[in-house]
């Protein structure tokens, strides 16, 4: 096992550490309170069920929903798949196998993109909306894409690489109006909100969100647990289950409930709501802004990817021109960060998210994502800045491209020899 004691952790989009209060809440359910929440004939089961229902209310409270609207899953990937494939398969089953139309975005997480591509292989039509250079969709494109057979619009609340927040309330209003006007009578709105929760206020009622994906380990809870908010009321949201079994979770997701993980997610949601209410998240934003200003003041040819105005308070995605991203990662190995999303960091291809923004291939290859968190200190940021600035300058000293650019040579006009 590699030593991590001296690492500066700035990869909170990939995962967050479990808050000590979350661990403390979970421990009884790993020891003496080990009951199965489905055991209704004795106190072990009753206590487990009470804990599960409390956690439902805690998660619901974070997003202005009721506990009855929370469906437990193994994490955001399953939640996204249940929302997307569950809607599609229910539609097929009730329309004699007929497929329909889904709208999503080019910059979605792979869990959404690949779920949609799987449906394409089954005959579904998928519209992938493009984004502006700031990372946000054009609302007119969404309106134009809606059809009578559109059953789902799935738009990520905040992007996992660039932290850009979509105009969620406006999207919700467009989808609700399309359903009401019968332009798209069966359409519902789903949002993958795992990066946004605990970092910005999420209100499913105000934003008219019908389904919302949640993950524990992105907000200081345990890995392996998540949830899908499924709006109750009219029109009713109907999903085909992906996992069959004992009919748990209102028949949407069978399987014995992992009580200790559920308790952890509930406590994490409670703490995240407190962060927002008491202004703790603003301290993270101030630290993020300080880091970006310091980078700009000490290095030239640095570029922020995506909108700074519509952005998560803990995110920086920076391109350090004329230095290869993999070289940067090796040079700043004392800092835990990433050159893309955690799910695609092994790929040598430039980020598909940055390419969708129109970032050219060379600049996309120089991009690093920094994710600050609840436990990030100014001392850690200052130490990270010292490493980043020193190493970028060293790498640029060895870069003929940087030297040529400083001489005023337009690198795009250079014809390189094949020797």
Question: What is the C-alpha to C-alpha distance for residues 369 and 351, in angstroms, rounded to an integer?
Answer: 11
Mean pLDDT across the chain, nearest whole number?
A: 93
For 357, half-sphere exposure in the C-beta direction (CA atoms, 13 angstrom radius) is 24
Given a cut of 80, whether residue 412 has pLDDT beyond it is no
Position 322 pLDDT exceeds 60: yes
Q: What is the pLDDT of residue 417?
A: 54
pLDDT in tens, 27-63: 999 999 999 998 999 999 999 999 999 999 999 999 9
The full DSSP string for 259-327 is HHHHHHHHHHHHHHHHHHHTTHHHHHHHHHHHHHHHHHHH-SSEEE-S-SSSB-TTEEEEEETTS-HHH
**pLDDT at residue number 415:** 57
pLDDT band at 245 (very low <50, low <70, confident <90, very high): confident
CB 198 within 8 A of CB 219: yes
Asked if 226 and 74 count as a contact pair (C-beta separation under 8 A), the reply is: yes
pLDDT bin (cut points 50, 70, 90) of residue 413 is low
Question: What is the rounded distance in angstroms from the CA atom of residue 89 to the CA atom of residue 56?
Answer: 26
Q: Can you tell me the mean pLDDT for 233-238? A: 91
Catalytic residue status for 18: no
DSSP helix/strand/coil, 135: coil
| Residue 205 DSSP code | T
Residue 345 has pLDDT above 50, yes or no: no
For the residues of 330-376, what is the DSSP string, one character each? HHTTTEE-BSS-TTTTT--SPPHHHHHTT--HHHHTTEEEEE--TT-
**Span 392-413, average pLDDT:** 77
CA 313/CA 164 separation, integer angstroms: 10
- Of the candidates 385, 417, 165, 388, which has an alpha carbon nearest to the alpha carbon of residue 291? 385
Contact (CB, 8 A) for 189 and 151: no
325: left (phi over 0), alpha (psi -120 to 50) or beta: alpha
Burial of residue 332, with CB atoms counted within 10 A of its CB: 0-12 exposed, 13-18 middle, 19 or more buried = buried
- pLDDT tens profile 266-281: 999 999 999 999 999 9
Task: Look up tokens 């069966």; give the residue.
Answer: 186
The yes-or-no verdict on residue 5 having pLDDT over 90 is no
Confidence bin at 96 (pLDDT 50/70/90): confident
**pLDDT-based confidence at residue 347 (cuts at 50, 70, 90):** low
Angle at 250 (CA atoms; ends 248, 251), nearest 5 degrees: 65
Mean pLDDT of 308-321: 97
Is the per-residue pLDDT at 407 higher than 90? no
Q: Which of 18, 116, 337, 343 is catalytic?
A: 343
pLDDT of residue 118: 97
- pLDDT class for 3, splitting at 50, 70, 90? confident
């Amino acid at each position: 096992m590699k030593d991590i004691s001296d690492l500066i952790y700035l990869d909170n989009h990939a995962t967050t550490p479990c808050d000590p209060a979350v661990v403390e809440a979970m421990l009884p359910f790993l020891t003496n309170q080990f009951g199965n929440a489905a055991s209704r004939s004795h106190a072990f089961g009753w206590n487990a069920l009470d804990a599960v229902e409390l956690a439902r209310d805690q998660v619901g409270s974070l997003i202005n929903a009721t506990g009855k609207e929370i469906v437990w899953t193994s994490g955001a990937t399953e939640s996204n798949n249940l929302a997307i494939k569950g809607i599609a398969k229910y539609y097929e089953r009730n329309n004699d196998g007929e497929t329909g139309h889904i709208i999503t975005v080019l910059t979605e997480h792979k869990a959404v993109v690949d779920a949609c591509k799987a449906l394409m292989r089954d005959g579904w039509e998928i519209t992938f909306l493009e984004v502006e250079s700031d990372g946000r969709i054009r609302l007119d494109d969404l309106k134009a894409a809606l059809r009578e057979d559109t059953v789902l619009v799935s738009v990520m609340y905040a992007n996992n690489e660039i932290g850009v927040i979509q105009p969620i309330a406006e999207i919700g209003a467009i989808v609700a109006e399309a359903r009401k006007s019968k332009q798209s009578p069966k359409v519902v709105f789903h949002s993958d909100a795992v990066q946004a929760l605990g970092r910005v206020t999420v209100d499913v009622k105000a934003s008219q969100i019908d389904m919302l994906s949640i993950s524990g380990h992105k907000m200081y809870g345990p890995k392996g647990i998540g949830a899908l908010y499924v709006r109750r009321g009219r029109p009713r949201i109907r999903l085909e289950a992906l996992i069959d079994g004992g009919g748990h979770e209102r028949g949407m997701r069978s399987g014995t409930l992992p009580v200790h993980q559920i308790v952890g997610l509930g406590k994490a949601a409670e703490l995240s709501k407190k962060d927002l209410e008491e202004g703790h998240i603003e301290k993270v934003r101030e630290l993020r802004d300080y880091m970006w200003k310091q980078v700009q003041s000490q290095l030239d040819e640095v570029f922020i990817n995506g909108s700074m105005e519509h952005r998560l308070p803990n995110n920086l995605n920076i391109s350090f021109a004329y230095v290869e991203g993999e070289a940067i990662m090796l040079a700043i190995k004392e800092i835990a960060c990433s050159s893309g999303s955690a799910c695609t960091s092994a790929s040598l291809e430039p980020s598909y998210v940055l390419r969708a923004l129109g970032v050219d291939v060379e600049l996309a290859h120089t991009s690093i994502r920094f994710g600050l968190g609840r436990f990030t200190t100014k001392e850690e940021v200052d130490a990270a800045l010292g490493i980043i600035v020193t190493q970028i300058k060293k790498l640029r000293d060895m870069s003929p491209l940087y030297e040529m650019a400083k001489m005023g040579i337009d690198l795009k006009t250079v014809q390189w020899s094949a020797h």
